[in-house]
């Protein structure tokens, strides 16, 4: 324990999770660690959920991004959450959000703490941060994610630290905590490469702000790594061909530019695609580092990775953390404000690869809303990278639900990324390079290269009738969502085909 809570006086603050949770009251705004199911505090939120069963109360919960260990589920089931931001992935919480029971604020991941710092959203009263250790001077060393933890701790009135003995002390030194100054005296963020170290390896707070310390021994949730399938392999293949062409044209070197990849099966499969690619000496400047990052390290493809969290399968966790010193000199974990910062993203020129739920013939992207109304997860960091990076790529399978859904539609039912922010779209069918094109030209590329053949004729028909009506971005407005309403009413975006088949 001496190494984990290094200030003797702070050891007096070690309490049970229940006692610590008692610092949190009805109506409070609470900021918790946790980003892409990594590094979340667990004991205190579980104690909150237990208490709420006897004594109902509700809080506003802010995190970095998603929480692991079913915490959002447990908290949602206990009806502890009145408001949640900036991201979530839990089915139970999602259903409460879609029922209008939990107010969900879906934010660009770089922006939450900026809004807090400028007091444009209600202040965090209590921060609950998972740590590897609390240093002599009160500095908190985060675990597998930095997320928004640093600013939550700095801005909160009180800080509860969960010291998690499960994570090795070798994590100390991995983090790089840089906090932009208040305006108007803010200066540039000095990150000029993924490997730039510009801050402190801990969260600097005065020790007296630490109100309670809880000792835990918990594992991060295992990342569900789905193996590549035929479609995701095809998506990766199209993207690798495109990038090779860019190198051939002299627009990129063989080391490309820093890579960012969203979370999930498709993004992970795409990153796997780099294993067999001719690219060398790659770097990542991303949010989340998944199994693929370490596979690329081991294959000698990746030179450096900067992220805000590490989310791994159990097997990969064991491998990496047993030998962390081997990777440590090639890894940095940063606050998500810095990993996703428009300043740094534009300067480095990231290649952003993010997942779409659906996209339309003009290149608008829906990342969040099923059927235009029901929240899936949230926009996450995709907007930070898509707007400001060098290249903005969106990937999705061309079909869903056995062909009942085409991911390429006449008009997306919700817009998260506009036509202005999308360079390239890829499905298993193919890739459309939209750079510099006008909307009608984009439609031609997308229909010819991305839509599944079973929907191509139908989409061509829509586009032709729309062009007949005219406009820079032609649409048949009264039919723009007909594919979505068909799906809802008949269970398929192409009910006529189903009817004909029956």
Cα distance between residue 368 and residue 396, in whole Å? 13
Burial of residue 303, with CB atoms counted within 10 A of its CB: 0-12 exposed, 13-18 middle, 19 or more buried: middle
168 binds its own copies per the rule CB under 8 A:
no
Burial class of residue 404 (count of CB atoms within 10 Å of its CB; 0-12, 13-18, 19+): middle
User: Applying CB under 8 A, does 184 fall inside the site for its own copies?
Assistant: yes
Residue among 400 and 437 whose Cβ is closer to its own copies: 437
Minimal distance in Å, beta carbon 99 to its own copies?
6
Residue 187 near its own copies by CB under 8 A: yes
The burial of 97, by beta-carbon neighbours within 10 Å (0-12 exposed, 13-18 middle, 19 or more buried), is given as buried
Note whether 369 binds its own copies by CB under 8 A: yes
Residues between 372 and 391 that touch its own copies (CB under 8 A): 372-375, 379, 383, 387-388, 390-391
# of chain residues touching its own copies (CB under 8 A): 85
In the complex with its own copies, the residue whose CB is nearer, 99 or 500, is 99
Residue 54 C-beta: closest distance to its own copies, Å: 28
Q: Radius of gyration (Cα) for the chain, nearest Å?
A: 23
Matching residue, tokens 């029922």: 99
d(Cα 438, Cα 274) in Å, to the nearest integer?
31
Residue 502 burial by Cβ neighbours in a 10 Å radius (0-12, 13-18, 19+): exposed
The least distance separating its own copies from the CB of residue 343, rounded to whole angstroms, comes to 4
Q: Are 218 and 229 in contact (CB under 8 A)?
A: no
Contact status: 157 vs its own copies (CB under 8 A): no
**Under rule CB under 8 A, residue 349 binds its own copies:** yes
Spatial neighbors of 19 by CB under 8 A, at least 6 apart, are: 212
104 sits near its own copies (criterion: CB under 8 A) = yes
Range 398-437, binding its own copies (CB under 8 A): 413-420, 423, 435-437
* DSSP per-residue codes, 9-56: HHHTTB--HHHHHTT--TT-EEEE--BTTBS---HHHHHHHHHHHHS-
Candidates 67-75, 169-177, 184-192, 259-267; binding stretch for its own copies (CB under 8 A): 184-192
Which residues from 106-125 bind its own copies, rule CB under 8 A? 106-108, 114-115, 118-122
Does residue 238 touch its own copies according to CB under 8 A?
Answer: no
For the window 239-268, what string marks contact with its own copies as x by the rule CB under 8 A?
----------xxx-----x-----------
| CB 431 to its own copies: min, Å | 15
Residue whose C-alpha is closest to residue 24's, from 215, 123, 158: 158
Task: Give the footprint of its own copies on residues 273-332 (CB under 8 A).
Answer: none
Is 381 annotated to bind a ligand? Reply is yes
* Token pair for 453: 């053949």
Interaction pattern, residues 4-43, with its own copies; x per rule: CB under 8 A: ----------------------------------------
Among this protein's residues, is 287 annotated catalytic? yes
Residues 143/167, Cβ–Cβ less than 8 Å: yes
- Asked if 342 is part of the footprint of its own copies (rule: CB under 8 A), the reply reads yes
- Contact between 85 and its own copies per CB under 8 A: yes
209 is in an annotated binding site: no
Integer Cα distance of 202 and 158 in angstroms: 17
Given 3, 12, 56, 103, the residue binding its own copies (CB under 8 A): 103
Q: How far apart are CA 241 and CA 125, in angstroms?
A: 50
Q: Measured between alpha carbons, how far is 164 from 241 in angstroms, rounded to an integer?
A: 44
Member of 54, 99, 300, 501 binding its own copies (CB under 8 A) = 99
Other CB atoms within a 10 A radius of the CB of residue 157 amount to 13
Nearer to its own copies, 98 or 313 (CB): 98
Contact 86, 106 (CB under 8 A): yes
CA–CA distance, 446 with 419 (Å, rounded to integer): 13
From the list 341, 431, 445, 450, which residue makes contact with its own copies (rule: CB under 8 A)? Answer: 341
Q: How far is the CB of 313 from its own copies (least distance, A)?
A: 30
How many other C-beta atoms are found inside a 10 Å radius of the C-beta of residue 315? Answer: 11
**Shortest Cβ 456–its own copies spacing (Å):** 21
Residue among 18, 25, 8, 38 nearest 336 (CA): 38
Three-class DSSP category at 435? coil
377 is in an annotated binding site: yes
CB of 370 to its own copies, least distance (A): 9
Tokens 């959000």 locate to: 97
Cβ–Cβ under 8 Å, residues 368 and 414: yes
Please say which residue, 167 or 369, places its beta carbon nearer to its own copies: 369
Binding to its own copies in span 469-488, by CB under 8 A: 469-475, 477-478, 480-481, 484-485, 488
Q: Which of 287, 337, 358, 419 is catalytic?
A: 287
Which one among 27, 56, 91, 188 touches its own copies, defined by CB under 8 A?
188
Binding residues for CoA, by number, are: 377, 381, 401
Give the residue numbers marked as catalytic. Answer: 287
Binding residues, by number, are: 377, 381, 401
């Amino acid at each position: 324990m001496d190494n984990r809570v290094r200030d003797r006086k702070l050891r007096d603050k070690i309490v049970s999770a229940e006692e610590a949770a008692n610092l949190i009251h009805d109506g409070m705004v609470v900021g918790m660690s946790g980003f892409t199911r990594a590094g979340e505090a667990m004991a205190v939120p579980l104690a909150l959920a237990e208490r709420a069963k006897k004594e109902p109360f509700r809080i506003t919960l802010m995190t970095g991004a998603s929480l692991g260990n079913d915490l959002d589920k447990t908290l949602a089931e206990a009806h502890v959450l009145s408001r949640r931001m900036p991201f979530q992935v839990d089915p139970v919480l999602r259903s409460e959000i879609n029922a209008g029971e939990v107010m969900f604020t879906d934010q660009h991941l770089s922006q939450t703490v900026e809004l807090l710092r400028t007091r444009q959203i209600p202040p965090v009263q209590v921060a609950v941060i998972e740590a590897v250790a609390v240093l002599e001077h009160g500095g908190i060393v985060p675990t597998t994610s930095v997320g928004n933890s640093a600013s939550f701790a700095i801005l909160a009135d009180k800080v509860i630290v969960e010291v998690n003995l499960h994570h090795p002390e070798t994590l100390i030194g991995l983090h790089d905590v840089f906090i932009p100054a208040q305006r108007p005296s803010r200066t540039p963020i000095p990150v000029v490469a993924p490997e730039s170290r510009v801050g402190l390896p801990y969260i600097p707070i005065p020790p007296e702000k630490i109100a309670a310390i809880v000792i835990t021994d918990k594992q991060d949730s295992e990342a569900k790594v789905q193996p590549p399938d035929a479609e995701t392999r095809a998506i990766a293949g199209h993207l690798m061909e495109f990038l090779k062409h860019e190198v051939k044209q002299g627009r990129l070197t063989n080391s490309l530019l820093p890579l960012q990849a969203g979370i999930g099966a498709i993004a992970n499969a795409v990153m796997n695609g780099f294993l067999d690619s001719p690219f060398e000496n790659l770097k990542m400047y991303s949010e989340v580092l998944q199994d693929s990052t370490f596979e690329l390290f081991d294959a000698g493809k990746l030179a450096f990775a900067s992220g805000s969290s590490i989310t791994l399968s159990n097997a990969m966790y064991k491998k990496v953390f047993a030998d962390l010193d081997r990777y440590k000199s090639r890894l940095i974990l940063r606050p998500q404000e810095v990993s996703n910062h428009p300043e740094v993203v534009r300067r480095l020129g990231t290649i952003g690869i993010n997942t779409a739920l659906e996209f339309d013939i003009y290149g608008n992207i829906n990342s969040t809303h099923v059927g235009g109304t029901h929240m899936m997860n949230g926009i996450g960091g995709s907007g930070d990278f898509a707007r400001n990076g060098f290249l903005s790529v969106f990937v999705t399978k061309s079909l869903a639900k056995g062909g009942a859904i085409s991911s390429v539609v006449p008009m997306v039912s919700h817009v998260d990324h506009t036509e202005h922010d999308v360079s390239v779209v890829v499905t298993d069918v193919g890739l459309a390079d939209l750079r510099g094109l006008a909307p009608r030209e984009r439609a031609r590329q997308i229909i010819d290269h991305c839509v599944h053949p079973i929907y191509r004729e139908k989409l061509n028909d829509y586009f032709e009738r729309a062009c007949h009506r005219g406009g820079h971005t032609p649409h048949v407005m009264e039919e723009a969502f007909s594919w979505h309403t068909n799906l809802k009413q008949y269970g398929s975006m192409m009910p006529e085909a189903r009817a004909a088949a029956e």
